[in-house]
Amino acid sequence: MKPRDIVPILLAAGGSQRLGFPRPLALFGRRSALQIALANCRGLGRPILVLGCDASAILPHVPRGVRVVLNRRWRSGGQLSSLLAALRHVPPASAFLLYPIDQPLLQRHTIQSLVRAFLSRLPHQQIVLPRHGRETGHPILVSAALRHEFESAPTARHVIYKKKSRIRELPVPTTAIFTDFSTPDSYLSCLKKFLSRRR
């Protein structure tokens, strides 16, 4: 397997009512959260962007080459319904990277570290996820061998944490793996951290 055999699934279907504008279009410096995520996934397979709420506002800002999938069940089906919608467009033998769009502090070197860990994992390890301290986060890399389990699972989390033995945790030196935003206050907090990192 090569990095090109890993398909990024950018999860961006959720509502942004509390924030006041679509999360994928939130600006961090000169780039949007969507642009940051796409840049971080450069070198992997063709990315899949799952949209739901605010799809019509986001679509004009999606670059060419990105496959867009509409999840019409985003309100009732949650994140799992977005994942299932995306998996219909992932080649059967491809692994996939679960990447929430609202984690703008992630950097490409973290994704690259996860990919290297996935490509060098032991045969029984089907999932690679990042850990900082005692907390795990995203993005999460999943082997093609597990995709069928999501079809009958109540949540994606149920599959990810079903068997600890098949998880490879990768220690990372950043809280970006669990720092997200969904409100004006959390957006400003993320923006402040983003801007301070660039000084």
pLDDT at 199 over 60: no
Rounded Cα distance between 112 and 44, Å, is 10
pLDDT digits (tens, 9 = 90+) for 2-38: 999 999 999 999 888 888 899 999 999 999 999 999 9
Domain coordinates in residue numbering, the chain: 3-197
What CA–CA distances, in Å, run from 122 to 118, 125, 128, 137, 167?
9, 5, 11, 21, 10
Which of 160, 51, 36, 155 lies closest to 97, judged by CA? 160
Three-state SS for 154?
coil
pLDDT digits (tens, 9 = 90+) for 99-141: 999 999 999 999 999 999 999 999 999 999 999 999 999 999 9
CATH topology of domain 3-197: Spore Coat Polysaccharide Biosynthesis Protein SpsA; Chain A (3.90.550)
